[in-house]
Amino acid sequence: MIGGISGAIIDKRGLRYAFNLGVIALAIATIALAFTPKIWIIPFISASLFGLSYIFLTGVLLVWGIKIFVKNASLGIGIPFLMLAIGQVIGSSLAGLFIDMFNFMYTFIIYGLIGFIPLLIYPKVEVLESKLPDGDYSQLQQQNAEILNHESMNDTHDQYAHHQHY
């Protein structure tokens, strides 16, 4: 549900706003974990905020990737998630080293501060808005709508045909 909300926020405020919102929430959630020994409720709040913002950013990356790779949407989905996976492997390995060198409190603060960096190096890829007037659809959108309508009509027909056998 949160991933779907990102699409509505992107439509109303734009990709950059949605991306920044998710990045800030994720970084704050990470920094908050540094203060868990002092305030018992922070881990619960942090975990909730982290999960919500992570899923929200997943939706943002999906929309963004598909808008960039219009003709090959699978690349727009695959590349961001491959980069996320690589980052998680490298990041978790380094986190173990940092915890050994410093402690977990400083590690969460360091990672939270690193989490703000995407705000400074926002990708320079331009995502153009649709030039079609409201209510008009591209040829691809029309084809997709026809396919979906045809499939749903077949499903309805098959469903009724199935019930006639009883």
Over the chain (166 residues), what is each successive 10-residue block's mean pLDDT?
A: 78 91 96 89 94 92 83 85 92 94 94 94 61 57 62 50 47
pTM: 0.71
Q: What is the pLDDT of residue 52?
A: 95
pLDDT at 74: 86
22/19 Cα distance (integer angstroms): 5
- Break the chain into its structural domains and give their ranges: 2-129, 132-166
Q: What pLDDT was estimated at residue 154?
A: 53
Task: Give the number of other CB atoms < 10 A from CB of residue 120.
Answer: 6
Cα–Cα separations (whole angstroms), residue 87 to 81, 97, 147, 154: 10, 15, 38, 44
The 3-class SS string of 96-153 reads HHHHHHCCHHHHHHHHHHHHCHHHCCCCCCCCCCCCCCCCCCCHHHHHHHHHHHHHHH
For residue 80, the model assigns a pLDDT of 86
